[in-house]
Structure 1
């Protein structure tokens, strides 16, 4: 059973599920659209160590992480442009960066925020969590049917059946969510229940809270989110449906 994840993963959330990448974007917004990699490395190293008294070794180690891991990921997600030989990072014109709600996501400071954003980067887990947040308890089979029903028809044609999605939930997604303590999953009964998690609730609040200044921007990252959400959830009695433009690589 093969699952094509391309249309199910959110490249923006995957990218910012890293504290260092979030701090890179915040630093570029705060200090200017272009920064030397060495200055960015010094800032991140100081933030990580909780002190500005750093030696060359710490800064060089962070610069290595940036060059080999974080900057390539940010560039692939469309947030920055970067030439390693130039030693300079320049912020790009990703629409997320114009939306104040996205900045609020970047500023969340909690030990497990990386895990929460990573969990939300996959459509199956996003639907699972929003269904459970509204209805608290579901069976694995019910969740599988919910997931398949809530995906766009164009996407649904290319995906596994509800039964196959149920197997993916059982073996991959539900154990992952259980591990980070946002659900309780009983493999024996197949029952799945929601656990109130402060970071997840904060993310939901940011995403589902209407921001009129952002909605006015036609290319905003979360433009029309509230309207899309209400339309998607019409008749469902839950706020389970996420707008599917989250799967669009341009909009994140």
Structure 2
């Protein structure tokens, strides 16, 4: 018995497109053409192999793993154990993702932020969300968790900074900078790690600091950036570098 491509696909309950793709990636051996050179003629071995591919695919085994099995496995139990271990890893990952999605749904949180921010992200501004997304690429998981703990207790100062208009006058900028400086000092007393959050950055301290600074420049308006600059000036004035000469 010999079949053309369409007949073979029908027997295996698949499509001609799928058969041709299996040929392309080497899963299914191509048959010889008929005498007229137009139709491929498939035999029982082709049908059996195609049914094997369909069966393994239905079990959730990726085509790349099916290719590794070949037409016949020398030790099916060993292969099955290996594939079962891989599937267990995937199932664990999928369960983790489902748990994260459930948490995000429960709190109506942002899908773009780490799931631990789900319960507090609805109160974030768009700038805060974007900033945290950037931070998550350069900071350690531990530092991100600590940031989350800080943000859970958002203050009036934080809200005022987020809402500061771009045309804020000098008096408003100076006043807000002084309030932020007080908050920074209080935070550093209770959370010493905040003095150097990039200390354990996976990609290095300098890279993390530069990336975070660039994000601030891009995400906040002119007045907000002036506030941050003023905060740095006030810190330098009140906290001179140890060992510096201030007598002149």
TM-score normalised per structure 2: 0.31
Q: Which has the higher contact order (CA 8 A, sep 6+)?
A: 1
TM-score, normalization: structure 1?
Answer: 0.30
- Greater fraction of residues in strand: 1
Considering fraction of residues, name the structure with more helix. 2
Greater C-alpha radius of gyration: 2
